[in-house]
Chain A
């Protein structure tokens, strides 16, 4: 049996890395795939924000890019909705799932637990290429003559089932979309199995579960959640493809008339799709955010030079968030037409998630409290994460109550909520991880001055974009509207919407600082020292001694330095 190449450091090996089963090489592939995806996702969001405030604008290159969807340069509603669908799908799957879990999990997890490799290195590479193929299929679904699917990333049946009669792009485009999602589910499932096996079987000598860094705990818990959630999406995707292509009726009831066409299905339930989708979809939120929580816990301890406050509590909080996350899918369906009493159970469980989340927040602040804080860019993003997570999480107190949700459901209040708590917070985790582990990935350091500039502008820009968005929700502004001109009640929100658009463009523009920093540092960044952050965990250790202590032994009294690596004997006393 061949042994996979170890630690292929440095950028020169990047192209060889396309077929390498080394965990760092696979991690870099995921990193660049999600980087490509996030750039595309942001550009799509700018198109949407532009169209919302200038719905009648004629843009020459729109017509060139989309001869049918934007004939004469004016974006049609169906083009807008397909951009919306692509934006959501890219961001949720290819950015918020791939970057925090697959990229950083692959890069750091084996190193931190003292494993040389992932448990199944070749399966790992296969997972990546399935994800890449899934991305290609997703892009292809938007290239059809009719344009892309317009049913949003949630693809509610029967709109997503009955075919082209329901709207342009609902033919071949929607079919390809479901194939892409099914492929992505397979990829995520394989990755989950790999991470779980690695944590269980490949921990090095002395690395007990309760000595694992919180990053590893959270990747582990996230992988378990993936293992339970993605098969449901895969099954749902298979069923809906059968409905579309095989003439079955899992999700379509009898007696539908779409346009002037009678639909030949009978006996299915549109709500069944929502149950299956959200049974995946809610855990997906935690799949996106839990790795970020782990990164933030790890970094705040590191840069406060203090042990993490309440290690065990943090582990149990992650486990309970994941467990409860499996039980609350119904809060996406308060107004779907379920028996109203079910909403009370889903509401209670939903509000309960606030408890471990609040505990985590408190423990992050308690960890930093009175520490000797080092304000590196990575630390700033970690602290920014805490702020954004609190702000975005608190709007969950409104949405978790069925009565209040009845007004806010599918308004911009929800858009603001999930962009802050799932989008921006998770991306802050990714940025923090990028600055922290860039040396591990490429052997060089990112520029700290550019990094800090990027952080501050992003932090301000994110709040300037998404805080006012709650107010559009207070005014009842529905989401997924391609323009705000039909309804009288939307007119007063237009100045607010224009502000949000301007702010979103600024927020996107400052991301260029990050891209510049990234690509410049790949070539010219300072060479990284062995342990650039004076951290305790094994990914920075050059010795192979067994682990003898927990992951956050900072500032122990009597020691020569203010940190002890996990595999380092104490020299103090």
Chain B
């Protein structure tokens, strides 16, 4: 029957597509991203093997199954148990393996470079504590995008005087960086492909995201949670600088 050959062709085409990789992941820039890619490749091999086996089995069943004497199979119970236990073991171990690179609650410690990320419809701002190492108080009543205070730093708080606010995220390579994610209006999402991670930014919450980038360069920051009509224009960049250069930049500000 025609469906058999079509299934074979489709399976072959899928394999060719994965071999050619018309588009693919960008280069990883952190240890976590490298670990991500390893886990992805593992999963891809397992899913790929099941995919090929299942499609070929289906195609074979279709190709051989025409007008023959029926034999009612027995011993189904054993096949069901074996396959059930095998798939359970496989899928659960994938889940366990996949959680190694996951569950971490970032902790705020003084040795980490702490940077606030402020998202709003439809722009990004980033705040650094300045030489005193402390963030000034903020309040929505002080927010003025036109007046150069997009984060809403309280002008009466001395700790805020030296805070640096930028539209581009600069981070030092090789250091632990703690991003504290804030939104003033709706849910946004901080997504940098090269880090292989994203994190929703929920108004009313401060969500920490720890990153450690090894490779200097410029990477795009995208919003990855539908936030309104400008969602697809909500772009910024992450500039990963050698640590000395980063320190010099911060001093000069």
- A residues near B (Cβ < 8 Å) are 76-78, 81, 150-152, 156, 158-159, 162, 166-168, 253-259, 262, 268-271, 304-307, 309-310, 313, 335-337, 339-341, 343-344, 347-348, 350-352, 354-355, 358-359, 361-363, 365-366, 368-373, 375, 380, 383-384, 386-387, 390-391, 394-395, 397-398, 400-404, 406-407, 409-411, 456, 459-460, 463, 467-468, 471-472, 474-476, 478, 480-484, 486-489, 492-493, 495-496, 554-555, 562
Contacts and interface: CB of A to CB of B under 8 A. Distances in A.
B149 interface: no
Q: What 5 pairs between A and B have smallest CB-CB spacing?
A: A253-B204, A401-B98, A481-B232, A476-B193, A555-B70
Nearest to B232: A481
B232 A486 contact: yes
B105 to A, nearest CB: 6
Interface residues of B, number: 96
A460 B64 CA distance: 22
B99 A369 contact: no
Given A354-B91, A355-B88, A410-B224, A253 B43 contact: no
A203 B231 CA distance: 53
5 contacts: A81-B229, A257-B143, A369-B61, A370-B70, A460-B10
B204 A270 contact: yes
Contacts of A362: 79-80, 83
Given A151-B226, A361-B54, A471-B17, A258 B121 contact: yes
Given A76-B229, A348-B92, A401-B98, A406 B204 contact: no
B95 interface: yes
Contacts of B107: none
B87 A358 contact: yes
Interface of B: 1-3, 6-7, 10, 13-14, 17, 21-26, 35-36, 39-40, 43-44, 46-47, 50-51, 54-55, 57-58, 61-62, 64-68, 70-73, 76-77, 79-80, 83-84, 87-88, 91-92, 94-96, 98-105, 120-121, 140, 143, 184-187, 189, 191, 193, 196-200, 202-205, 207, 220, 222-233, 235
Contact of A397 (B10, B94, B233): B94
Contact of A339 (B14, B17, B24, B105): B105
Contact of B98 (A305, A403, A460): A403
Nearest to B181: A337
A234 to B, nearest CB: 23
Nearest to B234: A486
Contact of A407 (B94, B185, B186, B196): B196
Contacts of A372: 65-68, 70
A401 B199 contact: no
Given A156-B225, A370-B70, A478-B222, A402 B22 contact: no
Nearest to B89: A355
B55 A387 contact: yes
B27 to A, nearest CB: 12
B197 A257 contact: no
Nearest to A396: B47
B99 A255 contact: no
Contacts of B13: 467
Contacts of B96: 348
A481 B64 CA distance: 46
A152 B66 CA distance: 47
Given A159-B187, A407-B193, A467-B17, A167 B229 contact: yes
A354 B90 CA distance: 10
Contacts of B22: 468, 471, 495-496
